[in-house]
Chain A
Amino acid sequence: MASVPRFWRGIGSRYNLEGTRCNECGEYFYPPRNFCVNCRRVGHIEPYKFKGTGEIISYTVIHTAAEGFEDQTPYILAIIQLDEGPRLTSQVIGNPENIHIRMRVRSVFRKLGEDGEGGMIYYGTKFVPEHE
């Protein structure tokens, strides 16, 4: 699913929603960016830890899984807007029947995947309905 170093270098972001913010224009970035898309070279990027709450912008229920996700079908994939503004793609744990656009969600810690039975396990953030 990923190489170990590639995953490891993003652990802070994957576990704890560590992103960035440009204190020149005020925009928040998750996934983190180290170069502001608005201010470019005059931007000042600093670390920012997101609260982990937000709402669903759009979603789908995946029946034909991506490689490595076969045991999870059907799974809900959503674009989530964090309360600070940026959007990300994540799985949402829940009943596909109850999911809807603008639903409030919060982050939880889950397994994202693994490199087979003997390989590295990838942990990180998924979302659940806010009041579950």
Chain B
Amino acid sequence: MTIGIVSYGAYVPRYRIKVEEIAQVWGDNAEALKSGLMVYEKSVPDIDEDAATIAVEAARYAMIRSGVDPERIGAVYTGSESHPYAVKPTSTIVAQAIGATPNMTAADFEFACKAGTAAVQACMGLVSSGMVDLGMAIGADVSQGAPGDALEYTAAAGGVACLIGKNESEIAAIIEDTYSFTTDTPDFWRREGMPYPEHGGRFTGEPGYFKHVTNGAKGLLEKLGTKPKDYDYVVFHQPNGKFPTKVAKSLGFTKAQIAPGLVVPKIGNTYSGSCLMGIAATLDQAKPGDRIFATAFGSGAGSDAFSITVTDRIEEIRNRAPTVSELIKDPIYIDYARYAKHKGKIRRS
């Protein structure tokens, strides 16, 4: 059976803040941060945007690209670590806003930065089992970085929706297989009721990101018997520019393979949207027959690897909705005070 991406849609808010602007508030060295993180600016939500509105905009673009009847969607799963409600699903908002309700199921996912790909895997399972015709998987975040924390330089806003189906004529990118690697590794967390996450500093690197991404990627390559050179593109979770570049190199992928999907330098880490944003940016330019290897990472910790082959259908649907590069052009730069207001870091009494 063939399972794949029938359509996809991305959304990135219009506002940006530059690393320099944040650094001057905290007395940090902006140049050192930029070269260390390979991140130059990050997206900031508008005052009336949150993970739900971003998820809806991304899902609507996916619906426009697909042209399918929304009533065919049997499941909507939204992954985020910034769901606007602690209790009450984001996914019902999305499902209603794309016209998929009421004969369907919905739930919210959370697995740090890989909740979106976890939703993709859940949809793949439901679709391949025949439980649903189409499933909508979304990763969307307005991620939180505490004032002055290192994460404040990268915690960004954005989202991507993937419509998963098994009707071959509708599939724009076949997902050949997926593989996950999961352990209980507390490298990053946010307790119930707390506004900002905490993290283990450098502990998030080797025991967190690198161990899980490497094992997830290797696991899938071994399972499929493929090698890095069999792929035209590769995407890794991009908390910054450095981590995916480093892991790509250690696994034997080239800079050319990673470049098209590396969007983090201009928009920051969109958390649950991050790896999917790289996949979307790659699909925006891939040709039929191209192969894409992708591995998402979520703190806590786990990785989801995917092997994808683009079909002829991509050419038909690609330009029906904005590409990632179209979405991120023409940003509006804001200062730290405005950013703090947009993020609710300062409030009117």
User: Which residues from chain A sit less than 8 Å from chain B, CB to CB?
Assistant: 11-12, 15-16, 70-72, 93, 108-112, 121, 123, 126, 132
Query: Does B96 contact A11, Cβ atoms closer than 8 Å?
Result: yes
- Having A93-B46, A123-B53, one finds 11 other A-B pairs with CB under 8 Å, namely A16-B96, A16-B97, A109-B53, A109-B60, A109-B97, A110-B46, A110-B48, A111-B48, A121-B50, A123-B56, A132-B330
Query: Does A111 contact B97, Cβ atoms closer than 8 Å?
Result: no
Measured between alpha carbons, how far is A72 from B48 in the docked complex, in Å? 8
Which residues of A are found within 8 Å of B56, using beta-carbon distances? 109, 123
Measured between alpha carbons, how far is A12 from B101 in the docked complex, in Å? 11
Query: Does B348 contact A71, Cβ atoms closer than 8 Å?
Result: yes
Contacts A110-B53, A123-B52; is A15 near B97 (CB within 8 Å)?
A: yes
Measured between alpha carbons, how far is A60 from B5 in the docked complex, in Å? 43
| CB closest residue in chain B, given A112 | B48
Query: Does A111 contact B50, Cβ atoms closer than 8 Å?
Result: yes
User: Which residues from chain B sit less than 8 Å from chain A, CB to CB?
Assistant: 14, 46-50, 52-53, 56-57, 60, 84-85, 93, 96-97, 99, 330, 341, 348
| CB closest residue in chain B, given A95 | B332
Measured between alpha carbons, how far is A11 from B99 in the docked complex, in Å? 11
Contacts A71-B348, A72-B48; is A108 near B57 (CB within 8 Å)?
A: yes
Which residues of A are found within 8 Å of B48, using beta-carbon distances? 72, 93, 110-112, 126
| CB closest residue in chain A, given B332 | A95
Nearest CB on A from B243, distance (A): 32
Which residues of B are found within 8 Å of A132, using beta-carbon distances? 14, 330
Measured between alpha carbons, how far is A102 from B97 in the docked complex, in Å? 27
Nearest CB on B from A75, distance (A): 9
Enumerate 6 A-B pairs (CB-CB under 8 Å) in ascending A order.
A16-B99, A93-B46, A121-B84, A121-B85, A123-B93, A132-B14
Measured between alpha carbons, how far is A24 from B50 in the docked complex, in Å? 42
Nearest CB on A from B32, distance (A): 34
Contacts A110-B48, A111-B53, A123-B52; is A70 near B348 (CB within 8 Å)?
A: yes
Measured between alpha carbons, how far is A58 from B53 in the docked complex, in Å? 26
| CB closest residue in chain A, given B347 | A71
Q: Which of the residues A15, A93, A126 comes within 8 Å of B96, measured between beta carbons?
A: A15
Query: Does A109 contact B57, Cβ atoms closer than 8 Å?
Result: yes
Query: Does B47 contact A72, Cβ atoms closer than 8 Å?
Result: yes
Which residues of B are found within 8 Å of A15, using beta-carbon distances? 93, 96-97
Which residues of A are found within 8 Å of B96, using beta-carbon distances? 11-12, 15-16
Query: Does A71 contact B47, Cβ atoms closer than 8 Å?
Result: yes
Which residues of A are found within 8 Å of B341, using beta-carbon distances? 71
| CB closest residue in chain B, given A111 | B48
Which residues of A are found within 8 Å of B57, using beta-carbon distances? 108-109
| CB closest residue in chain A, given B99 | A16
Contacts A16-B97, A71-B341; is A111 near B49 (CB within 8 Å)?
A: yes
Which 4 A/B pairs are nearest by Cβ-Cβ distance?
A109-B56, A111-B48, A110-B48, A15-B97
Measured between alpha carbons, how far is A63 from B341 in the docked complex, in Å? 17
Measured between alpha carbons, how far is A111 from B53 in the docked complex, in Å? 7
